[in-house]
C-alpha cells in the first residue's frame, strides 16, 4: 500500500517507520526543512530508542522516504495519515490549525480516491467536521475522500514497542471502504482491531489518557494522605495493584504527570465538556491534584531549609519521564524557575535532557556532566526523574554534599537504603528519614 504521513513528530515518524517495516511504501512529509534534511540522512530529530536503526533499515529497503513536497506525496498515496500536532490553546482547547492546513493541501492535491486517517488527538466531532470540510472543498468530487479516526496510544521512550505490539488498534469509520482499507493496512501487525464510529474512536483516546491521568492523581492524593497518617504508599499500591480489577500499572506516586499528552488531553476534554454544558468533575480534580503535586518537593524542603538564596541546589533529572529528552510540561521546569526566583544556585544533571534544558534556561543554571559533579558541596538535592542511572547509584554519593538532604519526587530508593546511607530523605507518600539532623 502507498502511504503518505503528514507530520514527522512522535506520532507521524514512529507510525510511518513501523508501517514501512511492515512492508508498505511510506513517504513522510513535513514543512520543516531541517527535520527533513536530518531524516534523509537517517538522523532522528526526536530521541526515541531504536528509531534511527529502523529508519536506516526501511530506507535501505526503499520503503521509507522523507520529503517537503506534499503535493507529490499526497497525489500518489492510497492512504494519508495525519499526525500533526494539536497543541493547547490559552483556554485549554485544542488548536487544530495545522490539521486544517494539511486537509486543505490534501483537497488541493488529490485526484484519485484517498483515505484520510486522522491520528492526531482531536476533540470529539472533529473527524466529522473535517469530512464536511472536504465535502465543501471538493464539491462534486467529494467521493474522492473518506475520513477515518485512528488514535494512537504510543508512549515516548517505548513508542516502537507500543506501535509494533499494540494491545489494540482503534479505528473509527463511517463507511465500509475506510474500515476495509485500514484493516488491510494493519493486517501485517496481527493486532486486535476495534472498529467503531468516528466519534467513539476520538473519545477512546481522550478517555484512555484521562483515565490514566486520573489514576496517577488518585494515587498521588492517597500518597499525600499516607504521609499524614503514617502509611506507606509503596505498600498500599502493592496491596491495591494485585487486585486485577485495579491493576498495578500507573500507580506510581510522584510529583505529578507531565509530557505532551496528559496535561493537554485532560484540559481539552474538560474544556470540551464545559462547552457542552457538562462539568467533568473527576477530570477537574485530576488537573487540580496534579497542579499542586508538582511543588511537593519544594514544600517539603522548606521545612528543613529556611531560604534557598545562595544555596547550591543539585537537581537530578529534568525530563518529564525517563527514556526521553522531552521537557514539555515536565514538573522540573516550574520548580527550577521557582528556585531561581528565590536566588538558588541551581546545578543540574540529566542523562539526555541537557540540550533542551539549555534552550530554556541558558546560563541561568549550571549544567553538570555527572551525578557527582552536581552533588559536590550541594545544600540539597531534588530528584525529578527516575532515570535508571539514579536508581542504581550508590547512596553514599550523597555524602559529598555539604548537607546530605535529598528530596526524591520519584521514590527512587528503598527507605532502608536511605537510612543506611544516613541521609535526610524525603520521598512521596512515605516516612521521612533523618529529619532531625540538620539546622
Of 88 and 174, nearer to ligand UDX (C-beta) is 88
The answer to the question of whether 121 is labelled as a binding residue is yes
343 half-sphere exposure, CB direction, 13 A CA radius: 6
User: Measured from the CB of residue 70, what is the shortest distance to ligand UDX in angstroms?
Assistant: 25
List contacts with ligand UDX (CB under 6 A): 152-156, 209, 212, 216, 250-252, 254, 257-259, 261-262, 320-321
Q: Does 129 carry a binding-site annotation?
A: no
DSSP 250-309: T---SS---SSSHHHHHHHHHHHHHHTT---HHHHHHHHHHHHHTTHHHHHHHTT-S--T
Q: How far is the CB of 117 from ligand UDX (least distance, A)?
A: 16
Rounded Cα gap, residues 408 and 405, in angstroms: 10
Distance spanning both ends of the chain, measured CA to CA: 68
Where do runs of H (alpha helix) occur along 119-197? 126-138, 159-164, 176-186
In terms of CB distance, is 72 or 328 closer to ligand UDX? 328
We find the least distance from the C-beta atom of residue 118 to ligand UDX, in angstroms, to be: 14
Q: Is 254 annotated as a binding residue?
A: yes
Q: Is 258 one of the annotated binding-site residues?
A: yes
Please state the closest distance from residue 219 (CB atom) to ligand UDX, in A. Answer: 7
d(Cα 250, Cα 375) in Å, to the nearest integer? Answer: 30
Longest alpha-carbon distance in the chain: 79
Query: Which CB atom, from 22 or from 212, has the smaller least distance to ligand UDX?
Result: 212
Cβ-based nearer residue to ligand UDX, 40 or 391: 391
Closest to ligand UDX by CB, 211 or 367: 211
28 is catalytic: no
424: β partners: 405
- Least distance in angstroms from the C-beta of 294 to ligand UDX: 10
- Beta-strand ranges (E) seen in 83-218 are 114-118, 145-149, 169-172, 193-196
Give the integer Cα–Cα distance in Å for 48 and 9: 11
Task: Please report, to the nearest 10 degrees, the dihedral formed by the alpha carbons of residues 105, 107, 108, 112 taken in order.
Answer: 120
35 is in an annotated binding site: yes
Which entry of 18, 226, 261, 381 is annotated as an active-site residue? 261
For residue 351, say whether it is annotated as part of any ligand binding site: no
- Residue ranges at the known binding site for substrate: 205, 250-254, 258, 321
- Residue ranges at the known binding site for NAD(+): 30, 35, 86, 121, 264, 328
- Residue ranges at the known binding site: 30, 35, 86, 121, 205, 250-254, 258, 264, 321, 328
Residues involved in catalysis: 261
Amino acid at each position: 500500500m502507498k502511504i503518505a504521513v503528514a507530520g514527522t513528530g512522535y506520532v507521524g515518524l514512529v507510525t510511518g517507520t513501523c508501517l514501512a517495516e511492515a512492508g508498505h511504501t511510506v513517504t513522510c512529509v513535513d514543512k520543516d526543512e531541517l527535520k527533513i534534511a536530518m531524516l534523509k540522512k537517517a538522523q532522528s530529530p526526536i530521541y526515541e530508542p531504536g528509531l534511527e536503526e529502523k529508519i536506516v533499515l526501511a530506507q535501505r529497503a526503499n520503503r521509507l522516504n522523507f520529503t517537503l513536497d506534499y503535493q507529490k506525496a499526497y497525489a500518489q498515496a492510497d492512504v494519508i495519515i495525519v499526525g500533526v500536532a494539536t497543541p493547547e490553546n490559552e483556554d485549554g482547547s485544542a488548536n487544530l490549525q495545522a490539521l486544517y492546513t494539511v486537509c486543505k493541501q490534501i483537497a488541493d492535491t488529490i485526484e484519485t480516491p484517498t483515505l484520510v486517517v486522522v491520528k492526531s488527538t482531536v476533540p470529539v466531532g472533529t473527524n466529522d467536521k473535517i469530512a464536511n470540510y472536504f465535502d465543501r472543498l471538493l464539491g462534486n468530487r467529494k467521493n474522492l475522500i473518506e475520513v477515518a479516526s485512528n488514535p494512537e496510544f504510543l508512549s515516548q521512550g517505548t513508542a516502537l514497542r507500543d506501535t509494533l505490539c499494540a494491545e489494540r488498534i482503534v479505528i473509527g469509520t463511517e463507511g465500509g471502504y475506510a474500515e476495509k482499507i485500514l484493516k488491510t493496512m494493519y493486517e501485517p501487525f496481527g493486532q486486535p482491531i476495534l472498529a467503531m464510529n468516528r466519534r467513539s474512536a476520538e473519545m477512546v483516546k481522550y478517555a484512555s489518557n484521562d483515565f490514566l491521568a486520573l489514576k496517577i492523581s488518585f494515587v498521588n492524593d492517597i500518597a499525600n494522605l499516607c504521609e499524614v497518617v503514617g502509611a506507606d504508599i509503596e505498600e498500599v499500591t502493592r496491596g491495591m495493584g494485585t487486585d486485577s480489577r485495579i491493576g498495578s500499572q500507573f500507580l506510581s506516586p510522584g510529583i505529578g504527570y507531565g509530557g505532551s499528552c496528559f496535561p493537554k488531553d485532560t484540559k481539552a476534554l474538560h474544556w470540551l465538556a464545559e462547552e457542552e454544558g457538562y462539568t467533568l468533575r473527576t477530570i477537574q480534580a485530576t488537573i487540580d491534584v496534579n497542579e499542586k503535586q508538582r511543588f511537593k518537593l519544594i514544600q517539603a524542603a522548606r521545612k528543613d531549609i529556611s531560604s534557598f538564596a545562595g544555596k547550591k541546589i543539585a537537581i537530578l533529572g529534568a525530563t518529564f519521564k525517563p527514556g526521553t529528552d522531552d521537557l514539555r510540561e515536565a514538573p522540573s521546569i516550574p520548580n527550577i524557575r521557582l528556585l531561581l526566583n528565590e536566588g538558588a544556585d541551581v546545578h543540574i544533571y540529566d542523562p539526555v535532557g541537557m540540550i533542551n534544558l539549555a534552550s530554556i534556561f541558558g546560563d541561568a543554571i549550571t549544567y553538570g556532566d555527572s551525578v557527582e559533579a552536581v552533588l559536590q558541596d550541594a545544600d540539597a538535592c531534588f530528584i525529578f526523574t527516575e532515570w535508571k542511572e539514579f536508581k542504581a547509584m550508590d547512596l553514599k554519593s550523597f555524602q559529598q554534599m555539604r548537607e546530605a538532604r535529598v528530596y526524591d519526587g520519584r521514590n527512587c530508593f528503598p527507605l532502608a537504603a536511605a537510612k543506611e546511607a544516613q541521609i535526610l530523605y524525603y520521598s512521596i507518600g512515605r516516612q521521612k528519614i533523618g529529619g532531625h539532623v540538620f539546622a
